[in-house]
Amino acid sequence: MAEWKEIRCKRSGECCYFLKHRSGLPIYVWPKRDYTTAYAVFATNYGAIDVACLKGGAGEPVLLPAGTAHYLEHKLFENEDCDAFERYAEIGANANAYTSFDQTAYLFTCTQNLTESLEILLDFVQKPYFTEKTVEKERGIIGQEIRMGEDSPFRRVFCNMLTGLYKEHPVHTDIAGTVESIAQITPELLYSCYDTFYNLHNMVLAVSGNVTCEQVEAVADRLLRPCEPKVPRRAPIDEPRESVTPRTEVAMPVAVPLFYLGYKVPLDTSQGLGSETPEAFAAAEVLEELLGGRSSALYASLMKQELINTSFDVEYFNGPGYGVWIVGGESRDPDAVASAFRDEVARLRREGVDPEEFAAARNAVYGQMIGDLDNPESCGDLLIAAHMDGFGVFDLLEAVASLTVEAVERRLATDFEERASSLSIVSPL
């Protein structure tokens, strides 16, 4: 058996293990004693934003149609013999997959037959099978999915916000692409993308719950095929600081207006991971609670004025070359909510963050993160996220625990520029 590296959290006592497998695949295992469920994720560092990449890390960018990563995810479940979902159903496992802006992941949960489930996962992800007939069939299915998304008020308000914020960065394009862009996808293109992005050195496997390192390693030794470490690099993007459209409003069949106020955060787009550090991301997590948490002053004020309901939320999400603050929910007057949020940011910049409110927000975030460690799925997702972000497994937890009010105030001072904001509204017909 290979030598696994132990990764222990000093604060919680939790322990997981890491192995750089001889095939080149990074593998994490997080055994959870006395748990009956196991959860596994096999992910690649390839998502919807990868419409231009540098093969081998240099040269002219290779341009890809929008939606290719999502299309490839759909098609990978089928091979010449059967559908992977059918194989999972036969042994009682629950499988799924997703494509995000910056990664594609294949996953399953099971209470038995872990070895068989893991064998299916590693098998079908490594066996692409595309033909003209199957690719054409999927085009109709995904095209229908795209059109349904266009009719969704919740999806429309989100996409319009990103389009209002970003001019060059492909994060403004829908993950599924467009009907026009997916028309360009061919079996040859899918095979090319698979060979480029589904290199084991560009992927990661995480298994948590009722599992041992020995179980995972045995399956990996049998099924993983070593490959040459050719990891693609994302092409740099020159994104202007200003937003594209300060305000967008469309009418759709909704009972109450939906809104998203977005702020584009400046990040270094020349590197794949951007410029976020664990401390900076921890500061964002706590700032979410201070600005939009149920105990925040802004939430109480807006609720008292009946400008929001419990759908109101403040969230930060980021990825390679992009970072976005989102303030959103339902409101009879979205412009008034946006104005109140801007006023609250200005007040906190002027007066500073109250130390007691900061401590309460930090404790709330820390408590939530500790609670998530009891969930195998949360643990598996944490392993994937930390690896993709270039963090240690417990770096973010440690950063939250040791966070200072000054770190939050630094983030508050730089992130919310009006010239880099966009308000998206979906109003009733």
Check residue 56 and give its pLDDT.
56
CB crowding 312-338: b at 16 or more within 10 Å, else e? bbbebebbbbbbbbbbbbbbeebeebb
**pLDDT exceeds 90 at position 317:** yes
The mean pLDDT value of the chain amounts to 94
Integer Cα distance of 261 and 281 in angstroms: 20
Check residue 268 and give its pLDDT.
59
Reported as a single tens digit per residue, the pLDDT across 2-54 is 899 999 999 999 999 999 999 999 999 999 989 999 999 999 999 999 998 76
**pLDDT exceeds 50 at position 190:** yes
**pLDDT exceeds 60 at position 109:** yes
CB crowding 124-143: b at 16 or more within 10 Å, else e? bbbebebeeebbeebeeebb
Reported as a single tens digit per residue, the pLDDT across 363-408 is 999 999 999 999 999 999 999 999 999 999 999 999 999 999 999 9
Check residue 230 and give its pLDDT.
83
**pLDDT exceeds 90 at position 154:** yes
Check residue 235 and give its pLDDT.
79
Radius of gyration of the chain from its Cα atoms, rounded to whole angstroms: 22
Helix-, strand-, coil-residue percentages of the chain, each rounded to 5: 45, 20, 35
Check residue 62 and give its pLDDT.
76
Element (H, E) at 209: strand 203-209
Multiple choice CATH, 5-234, 3.30.830.10, 3.40.50.300, 3.50.50.60, 1.10.240.10:
3.30.830.10
Say whether 97 sits in a helix, a strand or coil.
Answer: strand
Q: Residues near 393 by Cβ (< 8 Å), separated by ≥ 6? A: 7, 9, 16, 28, 382, 383, 386
Annotated domain spans of the chain: 5-234, 247-428
Check residue 272 and give its pLDDT.
43
Using pLDDT thresholds of 50, 70 and 90, give the confidence band for residue 55. Answer: low
Reported as a single tens digit per residue, the pLDDT across 227-272 is 888 888 887 888 999 999 999 999 999 999 999 999 999 875 444 4
**pLDDT exceeds 60 at position 63:** yes
Check residue 271 and give its pLDDT.
45
Tokens coding 43 = 């992910």
Reported as a single tens digit per residue, the pLDDT across 194-213 is 999 999 999 999 999 999 99
Check residue 237 and give its pLDDT.
85
**pLDDT exceeds 60 at position 169:** yes
Q: Which residue has the higher pLDDT, 327 or 55?
A: 327
Query: By CB neighbour count within 10 A (0-12 exposed, 13-18 middle, 19+ buried), where does 348 fall?
Result: buried
Same fold, 5-234 and 247-428: yes
Using pLDDT thresholds of 50, 70 and 90, give the confidence band for residue 183. Answer: very high
Give phi and psi for 107, each to the nearest 5: -145, 165
Superfamily of domain 247-428: Metalloenzyme, LuxS/M16 peptidase-like (3.30.830.10)
Check residue 141 and give its pLDDT.
92
Using pLDDT thresholds of 50, 70 and 90, give the confidence band for residue 276. Answer: confident
Check residue 405 and give its pLDDT.
97
Share of the chain above pLDDT 90, in %: 87
- Residues known to be catalytic: 73
Q: Are 182 and 190 in contact (CB under 8 A)?
A: no
